[in-house]
Amino acid sequence: MRYILRRLGFFIVTLWAAMTVNFFLPRLMPGNPATAMIARFHGRLSGQSLRAMEVAFGVNTQQSLVSQYFAYLGNSFTGQFGRSLTFFPDTVAQVVFQALPWTLGLVGVTTVIAFIVGTLIGMVGAWGRGGWFDSILPPIFIVLSAFPYFWIALVFILVFSITLGWLPLGFGYTNGQAMTLTWAFAWDVIQHAILPAFTIILTSIGGWILTMRNNMIMTLNEDYVRMARAKGLSPARIMFDYAGRNAILPNLSGFGMSLGFVVSGAILVEYVFSYPGVGYMMLQSVLNEDYPLMQTLFLFITVAVLLAILAVDGVTVLLDPRTRGSG
């Protein structure tokens, strides 16, 4: 229990750090780049909303830095992120919640698939070490993981969309189609997701393979694995229940760091495919100097990553009895 509480504490500290970074970055830059942006809001916004925006970015406000900071934190926790310049009358929160499901679907599904497949390949590779399986798959995927995500995306578009014409060029669904809960629409969405999904899976699988394979090789040398062999247990049981279950633990705790890596790649993949998710929105906001949207997206990406890490912590507690103790 204490383990989970400690992780929750870490969650809050990290969230606070991300907000603080958001608050201080525009203020630290020479000549506060947000000044020009706020000027564009004049005439469109007035009164309280304009003032809230000025406090958030530290532009012509008389308040002290400390009171600005707490006003900003308060606004963030109550979901007042201001308005988006790019999608003007819409609030930032509306824009973010439109984009979030697309990214959660794409990145969530691909990360889980990559993790499971990568861990399995690493496990089987280490089990039959030096064999044909181990000499082919792990090296291929490790080299693939050194390719830039967005470049693989470009090559996929070239081959499957432009040359072969099998799959759509980009975007989340066929333009103009009504977003309804029908099979036709679902199929349309899946077709659009295939190329981005494969891009992310192919390039992120290598990291899981490498760490799992190394962990597994170390675990297979342990005495309890030898003991299991001596007892005459079936190879599958030894591989999964004895070696695999222990070898997967460092992989799980490395999940947080890898997830940040996957999210980073996914942003570029969304950009290449014009996929209407958080990453694409973020780059749009950068191009339009839409700082409120940009900062809020960063905050939401951080929260999503933190939630995923908490979920993984839960799995760790299930797999590793040591974390359940009072330690």
Partner 1 sequence: MSAPATTGRPTRRGPPGLRSAGTLGRAILSNRKALAGAILLGICIVMAIIPGVIAPGDPNAEAFMPGQGPSTANWLGTTSYGQDIFAQFIWGARASLVIAVAAGLLSTMISALIGVGAGYLGGTTDSLLSLITDVFLVIPAFPLVVIIAAYSKTGGNTMIIAVLVATGWSYGARQLRAQVLSLRHREFLTAARLRGERSWRIIIAEILPNMTSLLVANFLGASVYAILTAAGLQFLGLGNVNTPSWGTMLYWAQNNEALQAGIPLWAIAPGVGIATLGGAFALLNYAFDEISNPVLRPVRKRRARRTP
Q: Which residues contact 304 (CB under 8 A, 6 or more apart)?
A: 100, 103, 104, 263
From 61-69, 81-89, 151-159, 193-201, give the range in contact with partner 1 by CB under 8 A.
151-159
Q: Is 21 in the site for partner 1 (CB under 8 A)?
A: yes
Residues 219, 241 contacting (CB under 8 angstroms): no
Residues in contact with partner 1, total (CB under 8 A)?
Answer: 68
Angle of helix 255-273 versus helix 149-156 axis, rounded to 10 = 40
Interface pattern 31-60 for partner 1 (x via CB under 8 A): --x---------------------------
Residue 229 or 245 with smaller CB distance to partner 1: 229
Query: Cβ of residue 310: shortest distance to partner 1, in angstroms?
Result: 11
Closest CA to 243 of 140, 160, 148, 125: 125
Residue 115 or 271 with smaller CB distance to partner 1: 271
CA dist., res. 86 & res. 285, Å (int): 7
DSSP-assigned letter for residue 80: -
Q: Is 310 in the site for partner 1 (CB under 8 A)?
A: no
Q: Is 143 in the site for partner 1 (CB under 8 A)?
A: yes
Query: Cβ of residue 149: shortest distance to partner 1, in angstroms?
Result: 8
Q: Is 282 in the site for partner 1 (CB under 8 A)?
A: yes
Q: Is 151 in the site for partner 1 (CB under 8 A)?
A: yes
Which pair of tokens denotes residue 322? 């040591």
Residue 21 or 117 with smaller CB distance to partner 1: 21
Binder of partner 1 out of 214, 240, 274, 320 (CB under 8 A)? 214
CA dist., res. 91 & res. 83, Å (int): 4
Strand partners, 83: 91
* Helix or strand run (H / E) with residue 285: helix 278-287
Residue 163, amino acid: T
Query: Cβ of residue 95: shortest distance to partner 1, in angstroms?
Result: 16
Q: Is 14 in the site for partner 1 (CB under 8 A)?
A: yes
Residues 201, 117 contacting (CB under 8 angstroms): yes
From 12-20, 45-53, 67-75, 76-84, give the range in contact with partner 1 by CB under 8 A.
12-20
Residue 211 or 246 with smaller CB distance to partner 1: 211
CA dist., res. 96 & res. 87, Å (int): 11
* Contact set for partner 1, span 156-195 (CB under 8 A): 157-158, 162
Label residue 163 exposed, middle or buried (CB < 10 Å: 0-12, 13-18, 19+): exposed
Closest CA to 198 of 257, 113, 123: 113
CA distances from 206 to 115, 136, 147 (A): 10, 12, 11
Query: Cβ of residue 186: shortest distance to partner 1, in angstroms?
Result: 28
Q: Is 99 in the site for partner 1 (CB under 8 A)?
A: no
CA dist., res. 220 & res. 236, Å (int): 13
Interface with partner 1 by CB under 8 A: which residues?
10, 13-14, 17-18, 21, 25-26, 29, 33, 128-131, 139, 142-143, 145-151, 154-155, 157-158, 162, 207, 210-211, 214-215, 217-218, 221, 229, 232, 250, 254, 256-261, 263-265, 267-268, 271-272, 282-283, 286, 289, 291, 294-295, 297-298, 301-302, 305-306, 309
